[in-house]
A and B are shown apart, each in its own frame.
Chain A
Amino acid sequence: MTLKKTLVSAALAIGALTGAVPALAQNRPVEIQMWMGLTGQGGELLSRFGEDFNKSQSEYRVVVSFKGQYPEQRAAAVAAFRAGNPPHIMQMFDAGSGDMMHAKGAVVPVSEVFKRAGLQFNAADFIPPARGYYGLPSGELLSMPFNVSTTVLFYNKDAFKKAGLDPEKPPQTWPQLIEAAKKIRSTNAAACGYTTTWLSWVMLEQFSSRHNVAFGTEGNGRGGVSASLQLANNPLLIKQVQTLVDMQKDKSFDYGGRSNDAAAKFISGECAMLTQSSGGLGAITQGAKFAFGTSGLPYWPEVKGAPFATTIGGASLWVFSAPNRTQAEFRGVAQFLNFLKSDRVMTEWAKTTGFLPATNSAFKAMQDEGFFTKNPGRDVPILSLISAAKGDNTNGYRFGRWTEIRDVYHEEVEKALQGNQSAADALRNAERRGNALLRAFERTAS
């Protein structure tokens, strides 16, 4: 072998080696980060969907991780966005939607993500309340509805029996609920009659929708960032807080804390009735050592047309934008979202967790196989969210800084429950403090 030949082959070998490095990199799947705010059964299932997707193809690899409850996760994602490296997909709860929608430049609408990837996407595939909640008037969807829920009433059938109440006739209206709760207390069938999780979500947001009452201007904030809260001159909202204050005195209602904490009071048997997200069904099924039933969110019968539809809860999936994001990454995001909205995934998700199917076709598939008739109670959230009467104020709301305003509402109502202020004052203060936050939001929203 001549020297020249040796040199050439050496050069070729080096060329082949260096060439091999990018080739290897190309074979490695594109990584898609998804952050979720669910633990327990729901979180495990969502992680498994990620693995299923990874097994189904080799181009992309989805990593689903839990970064804390929704508020903490949101904070982490914002910090990551500021550092230029947000997750590709973030699961964000209903209350955070207002903030996300006005974060133009930080998020890419899902309709757009699908379009760029050349994938078919029709907003009309999603159930109407979800479409209305997460979409623009143009019909474009900003985020993809995933875990859809609404408020329902869970009640302890054993405690009902013990109190001499009919366990197959759950209270439909507030007067009926109050009567049942008093009876449960007077017969000592349970230590407390009724409690609720998510005070603001249930007593302000869902309650208003149930009675088709506005709690803010401009279509509950859907018209723009200049909208304000209307709580102080809202007799029905005041009446509801007053009802809770009165019931708290004899423990026919017992306050159980701000977020999900009160669920434990129901599961342990301490409280006989609970208003909770329909997505809370899994934990109750696993934990409750008694027979329980499900019913719709109660309403005041004197309100004309009531009961109206409740509104949506749960969370949707947002796609983040970042300067260094490649087209391949966005294609991967679209592929994974497409996988998540498939009937197979949606029906398994809804059946296991108690959330509602987010797409019409999954809903229909579950109906066709008779899931709702075979599982009594599982149709309650559907009836409440989809079949019940619609009005001008049943389309949800859209306010910025809503997680913070929820806490303001919690603080003021807690003060009323402690007996330190009247129900009317609680709502007047909540309105004043909430509107101050909305004005600050308006100032920074583009």
Chain B
Amino acid sequence: MSTQPRRIAIANGGGFIPGLNAVVAGAARAAHEVGWELVGIRDGFDGLLHPDRYPEGGLVHLSADAVEHMSSAAAPVLGTGARTDPFHVRTVSAEQAVEEVDRSEDLLEAIRKEALEAVIAVVDTHALSVVYKLSRKGLKAVCVPKSAENHIAATQLSFGFNSVLSFAVDMLDRARQAAEAARRIAVVEVLGEHAGWLALQAGTAACADAILIPEIPFDLAKVAGKLGPKVTAGRPYGLIVVAEGAVAVSGHAVAPPANPLRASLSPGATGHEGGHVIERSGHAAAAIALDLQRLTDLETYPLALGPLVKAGAPTAVDRQLGLAYGAAAVRALQERQAGVLVAFQPPELKFVPLVDAINKIRTVPGDSVFIQVARSLGISLGD
């Protein structure tokens, strides 16, 4: 508390998303400007918890020079921390028993030993909860929000979402063209288990015939009714965009939501046994395509974009946003703020206490301008 941090770290909790390297570069450049040293922790917190796994060391030196030529689309320099939860580290004991051990104290000790005065953590909703718990145990942390669904409520825009959205639109355009060639209805599933931002915005941009999102329970008969007259001999194809968490009016989708198990989980919930999470995307699209085919004369085919959209180069927006988030995280530490999340609340980047950021999911409100726009374009929202 008495001195400003001189040596700080940055870690990535969760997987890759476009713009991640821009956050790292932003933090590195901003740290350099104020004369601080920035190091990266490999693979979430694994670089500190399991340094033995890294022959070159669990930490990466991130000088301004080191990030000078870092490609924005390359594999993340920090690795990924999708399976990292220091409170539940799967271990085989000396007694040959598999167990999940709370190693948060070891992590904090390793951070002290490395003389790291604060950690900038790039977080999804799961990592946000983990870092919140670490901050309650004394870790000085500043979080940067990343989300492909843009559902972290504290910020208007998580980095990564704009890139995911752009790529999804591109893929939807292709799906429509393929549907046209095949004279069928493409049912394309996109990420969005809790919030329909991606489906709604991408679907609207691609002028889909229908968009089904978790916030608006859908009636497939109504979708079919709207689709029928549109799909004529002159236009024998269509495009339906469905968020993986979409549910039917009845409560149980005509079609189960993306996955009945995951539907019962909390946002960002992971296995306590070391993150045994599998992606089972595609179920919503498959079920809806099948039911629509039963309800109508139309032939359909399902397609799931899944995590494909989370790869690749960031858009200009995410490069700017990433750099800005990284730099703002350093500024937060300069201002001696810790236990906060950097939030983009246009036109400002603000610092929101972690306790106010956890457990908050931003869903699409019923009066959203995006919903109004979609309706005015004649897009069915399934209601």
Q: Does A pair with B?
A: no
B interface residue numbers (CB < 8 A to A)? none
